[in-house]
Amino acid sequence: MQHLQKTQGVARVRGHSPLDQKTDKPSARLYSLLQEGPLLEAAKSIVLIVSALFPIVNPIGGSPVFLALTREYPASTRRILARQVAMNSFVLLIASFLVGTHILHFFGISIPVVQVGGGLIVISNGWTMLKSKEEVDRSPEVQRKMNPTDVFRSAFYPLTLPLTVGPGSISMAITLGANEPHHLGPNVLAILAAVIASALVAMSIFLCYGFADRLAAIIGESGMGIILRLSSFLLVCIGVQILWNGASALLKSVHM
């Protein structure tokens, strides 16, 4: 009896009583799973993908352009169109992440080449938006092209591609997908992380595009013009960065 009391006393001193060991096992396992298990890696992947794609997709900066192209639409139609653009963007990002590298391998195209070509296109689009006048997007010709009966047709081009998900975000998604592990277990978690991250980006697109009219009412006409110019300049800078990343990789591959 004394020996048993001494043993329990030592266990209490060390902080491990028999009751504590039974109750602490589930929490300890959960803690170790979060600290060392795959859930933490999946959470890191989600944060990495969102932080890499969100500045390039830039739904906040694209909302003035979206509003300018859909100014004649009622609010309900604009939200339906924004939802379709968000869904198209989600599909494009997931497809680029999952099968983008396989398509490039099939055609014999490397990721640095995609970065160079995508960077040039992003620079061209950003420069065109930066130099264009605000009245261009409101011209009758553009309004006839954006007929409400052709909502789903115009939802993909130009509103989804290249306005929202352009070459920069596609090449970034392909690059992120190429760097993920190809083993079955980690690959499943990587796919799940990509799906969640792409869904978060698509949700931000829907919120920014669907309520672009309210954002314009709060900021004002001049404020939306300033945001449009700033986003165009940032788009040019992003294109230069993408171009430089691809060109640097190509130059390093050259054997002197």
115: CB partners within 8 A, 6+ apart: 171, 175, 242, 243, 245, 246, 249
Nearest Cα neighbor of 174 from 49, 89, 84 is 49
For residue 187, pLDDT beyond 90: no
* pLDDT tens digits, one per residue of 10-27: 444 444 444 444 445 555
Q: What is the pLDDT of residue 32?
A: 54
* pLDDT tens digits, one per residue of 88-135: 999 999 999 988 888 888 888 887 887 788 778 778 877 877 776 654
* Contact between 130 and 232 (Cβ < 8 Å): yes
Q: What is the pLDDT of residue 204?
A: 95
Percent of the chain with pLDDT over 90: 14
Q: Is the pTM of this model over 0.75?
A: no
Nearest-10 Cα torsion for 237, 241, 247, 252: 150
Q: What is the pLDDT of residue 9?
A: 52
Determine the average pLDDT of the residues in 72-98.
91
Identify the band that residue 86 occupies on the pLDDT scale cut at 50, 70 and 90: very high
